[in-house]
Amino acid sequence: MSFSRSERLALCELFDDLGPDAPTLCEGWTTHDLAAHLWVREADPLAAPGILVEPLAGLTERRMTQAKERLTYRELVARVRKGPARVSLFALPGMDEAANAAEYFVHHEDVRRAQSGGALPRDLGDDVEALCAKRLASMGRAMLRKAPVGVRAERTDGPSESLLLKAGTPVVELHGKPSELLLFAFGRGAHAQVELRGDEAAVQQLRDASFGI
């Protein structure tokens, strides 16, 4: 089973356990909102562009609201669990793992770590950490393009690898496992197990910055 599929199933199981009103790390969103987001992202061509294009975000929000009015929470979760319809771009060969591995990992952690008491990072294994490292390399620069300082990522789980994510001075170094570095790049810095090293003022600037998709 692919990582994207296993994360999809684990997240949907968590959705079932928690119900529609549990918090997430997505500001202002409950588990119901997140389930609607995941559904319209894959199933609604009119809604999907607003996820990436800020001027269209209002349309995406309306389509999410309509999905929540049309389908119950359990129905939304069931549809997310089933995966993209055959007519969806996400159903093209290889597209699910390419487009959804990071998406479902991050949103799974959005739910896990938002619950009372938080949740510890999982031991994902070498293969998944390698996948997260690849996603960080391909997506990290776009995610951190608005960072106010230079950013370099250093993985701490074995292989000594350094990745420049944002050019600039001063440079803040991020130290952590690729999975945690990926969460940081997606804007979950307050909950990612990542150590920031560098000039104290630059580190604080990066902590205070908003970035991600």
The neighbouring-strand residues paired with 30 are 23
Question: How far apart (Å, rounded) are the C-alpha atoms in residues 136 and 87?
Answer: 29
In 3D, which of 141, 140, 106 has the Cα closest to residue 124? 106
CB 64 within 8 A of CB 33: yes
Place of tokens 């990582």: 3
Q: What residues does each domain of the chain span? A: 3-112, 135-208
Per-residue pLDDT of the chain (213 residues; tens, 9 = 90+): 899 999 999 999 999 999 999 999 999 999 999 999 999 888 876 656 545 546 545 667 888 888 899 999 999 999 999 988 777 777 778 778 888 999 999 999 999 999 988 788 999 999 999 999 999 999 999 999 999 999 999 999 876 778 999 999 999 999 999 999 999 999 999 999 999 999 999 999 999 988 766
Question: How far apart (Å, rounded) are the C-alpha atoms in residues 156 and 125?
Answer: 14
CB 31 within 8 A of CB 15: yes
